[in-house]
């Protein structure tokens, strides 16, 4: 049958298929999240995230060696301190858990880009992302404290500051305080668009940061909104963010696409804990094939993400390096 347009002509031959692929997933696109805990020689598997661990500082060099071997060049650090307080002061301690982790990685694996999550929730007894005043997470007091946390982490040698608290004005404040302290070259990757999401459930096991009362809806975004995401992105760009993070990712590809279409700034997708655990539980039961991981991560790149924070990083890089 004569038929001028046959799209399948480009699908019969694998080389032709490969030739015209327009989205690529590479190990160096991936940022691996690490939960750092106190103690020696600790590697605690996180129950709700099979294959993911809390690790002690002394175990970081061997983990980072493995990442480098796999060509994964970036990590994001989350602290799991033994001691917490009311306003997250432990996060500003130059000898705090993340500060020690940064120093250890920079000493042994200097080529790894060390991104640090800046937020209160893992460091406060109440588990909220900020400083509580009169029963409310006080925006401006939190911003001041985040600035102190950021500067302490910068002094420890962090390569990138990533505020994930969702307070207003924090990028502006962190930029100012970094600049005043001669850290004008240090980039800020801002969690600009962070939704209040049930997909964070397993992370709260991993980071031990479940809010002891209430929820995070007065600072994280309502998942029914998208124009508000554009305002969040625009605000952070104006305040000096160098890259934006969208979180969660899988159910928010429309947001990644919209931001990427409107602004010429790098966008990072955060493939969060619940997305990881959902995929893994079905894979581990043999209900779906492991290939879904590649499909999920590739969809984030196709939507416009330049990089992806993902717990799948190691298994994906292992596969990519083998094939
Ligand atoms: C808060 C923070 C959260 C995550 C990263 N940073 C969660 C929260 O708001 O409770 C979630 C990441 C994930 O689910 O993988 N600092």
The closest-lying atom of ligand 1 relative to the alpha carbon of residue 276 is 15
Q: What is the pLDDT of residue 45?
A: 96
Q: What is the pLDDT of residue 68?
A: 98
Residue 288 above 90 pLDDT?
yes
State pLDDT tens for residues 154-187.
Answer: 999 999 999 999 999 999 999 999 999 999 999 9
Strand residue runs (E) in 123-257: 131-133, 136-138, 160-163, 189-194, 243-247
The structure tokens listed for 276 are: 């990881």
Active site residue 247: yes
Ligand 1 centre from 266 Cα, in Å? Answer: 21
* 229: exposed, middle or buried (Cβ count in 10 Å: 0-12, 13-18, 19+): buried
The closest-lying atom of ligand 1 relative to the alpha carbon of residue 274 is 14
State pLDDT tens for residues 16-74.
Answer: 999 999 999 999 999 999 999 999 999 999 999 999 999 999 999 999 999 999 999 99
State pLDDT tens for residues 241-264.
Answer: 999 999 999 999 999 999 999 999
Percent of the chain clearing pLDDT 70 (strictly above): 100
Considering the chain, what is the average pLDDT of its residues?
A: 96
Residue of minimum CA distance from atom 7 in ligand 1: 200
Mean pLDDT, rounded, for 106-130: 94
Q: Which protein residues touch ligand 1 with a CB less than 6 Å away?
A: 117, 119, 121, 129, 164, 200, 203-204, 209, 216, 272-273
Residue 273 above 90 pLDDT?
yes
Catalytic one among 84, 247, 260, 301?
247
Active site residue 89: no
**Listed residue (92, 94, 159, 101) closest to 119, CA to CA:** 92
Best probe residue, ligand 1, of 34, 79, 119, 122 (max atoms within 8 Å of C-beta): 119
Domain spans in the chain, listed from the N-terminal domain onward: 26-322
CATH number for the domain formed by residue range(s) 26-322: 3.20.20.70
Best probe residue, ligand 1, of 209, 248, 312 (max atoms within 8 Å of C-beta): 209
């Amino acid at each position: 049958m004569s038929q001028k347009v046959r799209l399948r002509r480009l699908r019969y031959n694998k080389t032709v298929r490969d030739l015209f692929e327009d989205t690529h997933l590479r190990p160096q696109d991936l940022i691996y999240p690490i939960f750092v805990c106190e103690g020696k020689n600790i590697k605690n598997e996180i129950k709700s995230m099979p294959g993911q661990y809390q690790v002690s500082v002394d175990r970081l060099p061997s983990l980072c060696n493995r990442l480098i071997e796999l060509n994964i060049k970036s990590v994001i650090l989350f602290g799991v301190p033994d001691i917490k307080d009311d306003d997250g002061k432990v996060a500003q301690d130059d000898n705090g858990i993340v500060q020690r982790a940064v120093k250890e990685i920079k000493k042994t694996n200097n080529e790894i880009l060390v991104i640090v999550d800046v937020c209160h929730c893992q460091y406060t007894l109440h588990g909220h992302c900020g400083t509580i005043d009169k029963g409310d997470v006080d925006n401006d007091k939190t911003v001041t404290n985040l600035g102190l946390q950021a500067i302490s982490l910068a002094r420890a040698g962090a390569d990138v500051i990533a505020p994930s608290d969702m307070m207003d004005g924090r990028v502006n404040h962190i930029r100012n305080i970094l600049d005043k302290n001669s850290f004008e070259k240090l980039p800020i990757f801002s969690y600009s668009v962070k939704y209040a999401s049930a997909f964070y459930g397993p992370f709260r096991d991993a980071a031990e940061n479940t809010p002891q009362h209430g929820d995070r809806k007065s600072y994280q975004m309502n998942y029914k909104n998208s124009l508000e995401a554009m305002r969040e992105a625009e605000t952070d760009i104006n305040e000096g963010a160098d890259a934006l993070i969208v979180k969660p990712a899988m159910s928010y590809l429309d947001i990644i696409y919209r931001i990427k279409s409107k602004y010429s700034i790098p966008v990072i997708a955060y493939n969060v804990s619940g997305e990881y655990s959902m995929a893994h539980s079905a894979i581990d039961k043999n209900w779906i094939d492991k290939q879904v991981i590649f499909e999920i991560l590739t969809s984030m790149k196709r939507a416009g993400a330049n990089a992806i924070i993902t717990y799948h990083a190691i298994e994906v890089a292992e596969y990519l390096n083998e094939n």
